Structures are given as structure tokens and as C-alpha cells.
Structure 1
Amino acid sequence: MAQNSINPGVIQDFLGALDGGTLEIVDLTAPLSSEIPTLKLPDPFVNLIDFSLEEVSAFNEPGPFWKHHNIHTGEHIGTHVDAPSHWVTGRDGDDVSEIPVKRLTGPAVVLDFSAEAAADPDFLVEPEHIKAWEAEHGALPDGGWLLLRTGWDKFVDDADAFLNIDETGSHTPGISAACAKWLAEETPIAGLGVETVGIDAGNAGAFDPPFPAHYYLLGNNKYGVTLLQNLAQLPATGAMVVVSPLKIVGGTASPARVLAFVERS
């Protein structure tokens, strides 16, 4: 047998499924541009800079044969990964460059609360909601990602609707403090993914503790992914997700490309 011959195996089966259409790649990433909605912290807190591109050359005198840009952005802009080091409770934990790659890839489960969020933008997921889902679909997967579908991705091109801010604050769905603590301390998931601007509900600054998804998940060496799109194209169970942040040394977060692999009949 020739030394360079390839025996059928897992990789070949995987590639064959992609080529044959029985395995589909779904892009869960929001396009990153200056128009992307970003978190707005109230005074006296300081906000990150928004995303922008600065032209350096465009087939002209500064660079006659090429076009390139400088990127200006905060870490937590667009679809991005929160590392444990982002929050005070995880300050001695991994930065974004240190997240083990095995924990960036794993099974995905999608919990659909879009009807509840449409009826109440302040809707909060409680442990009982997830336990009821588990009773129907099985336990949350070890090392997997819990993806929270709220239908909020439909507002991504309308920053006002997406942030939904009034005189009492921001009103977007999320998880309760009790749910954040339970997910962080009693479930085997690697992380939480959401369609909203942050992994906490819009008014979570008033919770106890403030911003409990950050407080508990990042403090327990778990991760967050925000501004996801296209969760409606994923099944409740059976998909695999790949979260791909930049390997920024010392970074507390990074914009990321997030992909899901879904079996199709």
C-alpha cells in the first residue's frame, strides 16, 4: 500500500458529510462593523471604544499594490468571548489567550425563550425553566455550551431596539441571579451564549450580586459568548459549536467567529 494513501476515518467522514450536505455549517456571528450595537455604561463608568477601520493604504501612494487597515476596537465589541479574567471574581483566572481550546469546542444545546422575551423584554430564565427543558431533552452536556435563544438577534441592525434603554435602564432578557449561580456551580457546561449585548440581562446591574452571570460564571472558570445570530437554525440538541477568539495575551475578551455544525437529513 502506498505510504500516502488515506484510510477512511473520522476526519474523512466529517469532510464527506460537509461535502455531501448532511452536515451544515451555521454562522452564529454578527457582522463586525461600526454599526454593531455596543454596551453603554452609565456615568461615571468608562465605555470601550466602538469598532472602526482606519485606512492605511488602498492601492495608492502609501501602498500601491495593497489595501490594508488598522483596527480600532474594545475587547468586548460585537460577537465576543468573555474570559474569566474579565470579572473581579475571576481576576486570577485565564485570560482569553489561556482558554483551553478543548473548552472552545463542544456540544451545543439551544433553549428557546423567544416567545417569553417577546412578551416581556425583562424576562429572566430561572433554574426551573432549564430543569423542565432537561426533563424533555436530557441533561446539559459536560463541557457543552448553553445557547439562549430569545429572538433578540432580529434587532441587531437597530441599536435603539437592541439596547432597549429608557429612563429606568436597559430592558433585555437574560438569566436570574439564582440561575447564574446554579449554572456556574451545579452544571457541567463550559459556557453560556446569548443573542444580547452581554451575558447578563439588561437591568442586571440592580441584581444581587450585580451582573450575576459575569459574577458566577466567570468566577467559576466558565465563559460567555454574546451577540449570537441564527440560533433559530439550530436544533435543541445535537449541534456542535466552535468558538474562535483571537489569542490575545492578557486579553479579558476577544471578538470571535462562532460556528455551529448541524446534521441535516
Structure 2
Amino acid sequence: MRLIDLSSPVDASGWEPEPVKHTVMSAAEGARHMTDGMRKNFGIDLRPEELPGGEFLTNDMLYLSSHTGTHVDAPAHYGTRADGQTARTIDEMPLDWFDRPAFVLDVRDTAGRTVDAAAVELALKAIDYRPQPMDIALFRTGAAEWAGSQRYFTDFIGLDGSAVRYLMDLGVRVIGTDAFSLDAPFGAIIEKYRATGDPGVLWPAHFAGREREYCQIERLSNLEALPAPHGFSVTCFPVKIRGGGAGWTRAVARVVDPE
């Protein structure tokens, strides 16, 4: 069995709409921090220079959105209700959704910015695959090429509501993309709304999750490393953030190579 990392990093040096702040406490700073804390909180007296090398442990402090890097969106991210009930948060989602057989559809040649149900059906026929209930669906849009730049957030291909519903009708409950969003870029969505006046064109992929529960994996990477469009599985357990609308994940594909 071979493991393929499908995750993009949390990288404070890359461009983000909500900048990531990442500070590193050095081992020497860790010694001072730990000894000060022991003295203040527990009345234990230990000087930093008494530690081997005058060092303790490093630490990383981060300020970031739960939608930074590869992450899983929960139904609660899409609205307050799903399936007629209170939408579940990321810590409430069943673990078995996130360790499943998977397939990937290459939609880089899609005309325009949106994949619909008909396009998904054609893409499945092209790889000769019929999704099974609870399969994880992945979409390779080519957006990962621009990760770390502002273009990553404006130049990608999304799904419309019909595509999401089509997959949910097949029993899919987790849909992933290498793009910033499962929906089309913000500019394309607003342009379509201004042209039609139809609020139904506003973030239809996300809002489909108000009708039926499903989760998205956004900001995947390295989908081109998958050796085949199906015949592999994906593990993408989200970090358990209580009450969170999303949780970061280290998404990994498991591939069994022929002997």
C-alpha cells in the first residue's frame, strides 16, 4: 500500500484573504516561558539555565481561519438547518464519512467556470465508474497550480447545485476539490446574479447542503499524483473543533499498487 499526500500546507508566507500569523517560540524562549509559568501557576522554582543547554521546547502560535489549508466543511458552514434539522458542526460528523473509497474527476477542460450534473455524468462515463454510496468524490480543477498566490482565489472551476445533488443522489456525502471553494469564483457568481437577478445562483454548491447533509474538502493538492481515477481510498478526518463549521485535515490517499 502506498500513501499519497493530498493536502496543501498552512503557509504564512502565501497570499490569503485572511492572512495567517505564525510565530515560533524558540527553545530558549520556551525555557523562559515554561519556568515563568511554573513559578506563577504552581509555585515551582526552576531557572532556565538549569535546563540542559538552557533550552526547553519550541512552540508555534498561529492565528488563522479554519478554512485555511486543506479543510473539511461541516453542514453548519452552509446555514443553520440541514435536512430539516439543526445543521451539525464538524465535531458532530460521523468518522466513517472520512475514510472511504474515492474517485477523482478531471474537469480542467470545462468550458466556463461551473461543472453541472450533465458534466459530472459524462466525466463518470469517461472513467467507466459508477460511484457507490458513501464514496468520496474529488475534483481536479487545476487550481492547485496557483496555490499561495492571489490568483488561487479567483481562477478556478466550481460545481453548481445540480452537480452536488447528482452526487448526493448517488449516495456521495463528501465532495473534495483542489480549489479554494467548491462553488465557482466569487466574481463569476456575482456576475451571474447581477445578470439574472436569481438568488438561486448564489453559492449553489454550498447551499445544497441546506437541503441534505454533506461535507466538502476544499484546498486539496497533488491530485495529479493519483495513479488512476478510481481504485483508491481517502482518509480525511477533520480536526475536532467543538462547534466549528470546519476543521483542518491531512487528507491522504491509500493506493494498492499491483505486484
Q: TM-score range by the shorter chain?
A: 0.7 to 0.9
Alpha-carbon distance in 1 for matches of 2:114, 2:201: 15
Judging by fraction of residues, say which structure has more helix: 2
Does 1:142 pair with 2:125?
no
5+ long unaligned stretches in structure 1: 1-22, 41-48, 165-170
- 2:100 aligned to which of 92, 97, 106: 106
Asked whether the 8 Å contact 1:183–1:217 carries over to 2, the reply is no
**What TM-score do the two structures reach when normalised by structure 1?**
0.76
Structure 2 vs 1, CA of residues 263 and 37 (structure 1 numbering), >3 Å: closer, same or farther?
farther
The amino acid across from 2:21 in the alignment is S
Please state how far the C-alpha of 1:247 moved relative to its aligned partner: 0.6
Select the residue among 15, 21, 28 that pairs with 1:59: 28
1:204 aligns to 2:198 (yes or no) = no
Per-residue CA shift, 1:45-104, capped at 9, x if unaligned?
xxxx43222334432333531111222111111111100011124381211111101001
Larger radius of gyration: 2
CA RMSD of aligned residues (A): 2.1
The structure carrying a bigger strand percent of its residues is: 1
Tell me, yes or no, if structure 1 residue 125 matches structure 2 residue 115. yes
SS in 2 for 1:257: coil
Aligned to 1:240: 233
| Counterpart position of 2:2 | 24
1:178 to 1:154, Cα distance in 2 relative to 1, 3 A: same
The one-letter amino acid paired with 2:24 is: E
Q: Of residues 57, 64, 81 in structure 1, which corresponds to 2:72?
A: 81
Instruction: Report the secondary structure of 2:72's partner residue.
Output: strand
1:111/1:124 CA distance change after superposition, 3 Å: same
**1:259 lines up with 2:252 in the alignment:** yes
Deviation at 1:262, TM superposition (A): 1.2
Contact 2:75-2:245 within 8 A present in 1 as well: yes
1:35 aligns to 2:13 (yes or no): yes
**SS of equivalent residue, structure 1 residue 148:** strand
Distance in 2 between the 1:82 and 1:173 partners?
18
Q: Once the two structures are aligned, what percentage of the paired residues are identical? A: 23
Segments ≥4 residues shifted beyond 4 Å: none
- CA separation of 1:52/1:214 partners in 2, compared to 1, >3 Å: closer, same or farther? same
**Residue 102 of structure 1: SS of its match in structure 2?**
helix
Asked whether the equivalents of residues 111 and 148 of structure 1 are also in contact (C-alpha less than 8 Å), the reply is yes
Measure how far apart 1:208 and its partner are. Answer: 2.0
Aligned length in residues: 222
Once residues 191 and 148 of structure 1 are traced to their aligned partners in structure 2, the CA distance between those partners, rounded to angstroms, is: 11
Aligned pair in 2 of structure 1 residues 101, 37: CA closer, same or farther (>3 Å)?
Answer: farther
CA distance in 1, matches of 2:212, 2:13: 33
Q: Deviations over 1:195-216 (max 9, x none)?
A: 1111111033536241111100
Map 1:38-49 onto structure 2 (within 5 A): 38=16, 40=17, 49=18
Find the counterpart in structure 2 of residue 162 from structure 1. 152
